[in-house]
Amino acid sequence: MTATVVPETATTAAATAAPRRRTYRLLVPLGLAVLLIVTTLVLRAVDRPDADEPGFLSPVATDDDGGSRLAEALRTQGVPVRRETDLAAALRTAGAEPSTLFVPAPGLVHPDLLDGLTTLPPGSRLVLVEPSRRVLAELDTAIEPAGGRWAARAVPPDADGTPCPLPEAVRAGTAAVDLQRYAGPAEVDHCYGGALLRAPGRVEVVLAGASDPFRNDRIGEWGNEALATGLLGGGRPLVWLDLPEPVPAPTRPSWSPDPATEEPAPAGSGRSERPDPPDRADPPRENPLWGAFPQWFWALLVQLALAGLLVVLWRARRLGPPVSEPLPVTVRSAETVRGRARLYRRAGARGTVAGTLRAGALERLTTRLNLPPDTPGDEVAARVAERAGADPERVADLLYGPAPEKDRELLELARELDALTRTLAPHPSEGDLR
């Protein structure tokens, strides 16, 4: 016997699974995209050194972000290296004679003290690593950041097609310095596509767009060591400003009067009549996340998000209530019953099977006895026992009793229910067995 079977539970499961699949189609791609972005940001934050961490480009730090290898290379070349952990001491040391002042973390210097970096003797050189827009503005330079990259890239000195006028960069050749680029007026020398700038003047200012050439873990790549030693070496002594923490704001001396209450000093007292300028408030710090990515990255991210949204809408275009459909194939009824029975047996759902068998038996019995569906259970048991000539308590336990706990009890329940329904409500094809 063959039949086209459309089980009610299968239709309900299909109707429930359809919205669930649409939800997965929406959440899975978005979840993967968010996971990819977060993982990329975390790996980049872990891989890229932080200038605020102690030991960053320190001449005595031997870890990956330190600068001990660079300091040793400079000493090997005969360059005197003087390490200072205080800005005032570094300015005093560098002010004794024309020197090279190396500031690997200019963001740690207080804004009120940045202008002191340019008060070095004529012929001195100031080397800054990845200075921010705020630092450049406080130094009163015409140089501004001109974009950056996700990671430092090794490029030749004439990467933009313009010859590099710095002999140190020409001798070093390709170096991994292209991370942050800068732009300035025509008199400023540009190398490595704007990643290395030299501003001439009474104090020569050199900007390096990446810390890679100075770090222990990257100094041995490409021409990084030659570039770093060339910028910091030469005929001048080196003063290495190793700031372990941000420099605090300058404090007013105890003998200095308050500008608001200061009275003019008498003539000949040697005191200046101009009051000290009031302390300036710290400018707001830039969001490091926005500055870590170029502008085109954010535009590309928005475009990818819009494209992903369109794909999600396209894949979820079939909106509306679920619709039940017949099975596309004809299957044997016995195969359907066996398949569902195997699933129940694998799940150990004895209570569900017992409830299904009892519900089917009650439906056939109440129909045969002309009882309404809402007839109380004790009345149904009494009528069935009367017609079958059985014990009412046994019939009530059979139709409404507890769920079996073992497979043998379930099998016995199925046999007794089958015998009872065959006695009172046989199927038309089975005939009356009474």
Residue 249 is predicted with a pLDDT of 63
Domain at 68-241: CATH code? 3.40.50
The per-residue pLDDT of the chain, averaged, comes to 81
pLDDT at 4: 42
Domain ranges of the chain: 1-47+290-320, 68-241, 337-424
Q: Confirm if 219 and 228 have CB atoms less than 8 A apart.
A: yes
Q: Is the pLDDT of residue 316 over 80?
A: no
- Please check the confidence at residue 312 and state whether its pLDDT lies above 70: yes
Residue 280: the pLDDT is 39
User: Average pLDDT, stretch 269-293?
Assistant: 47
pLDDT band at 74 (very low <50, low <70, confident <90, very high): very high
Tens digit of pLDDT for each residue in 49-66?
778 888 899 999 999 899
Asked whether the predicted pLDDT for residue 7 surpasses 50, the reply is no
Max CA pair span of the chain = 137
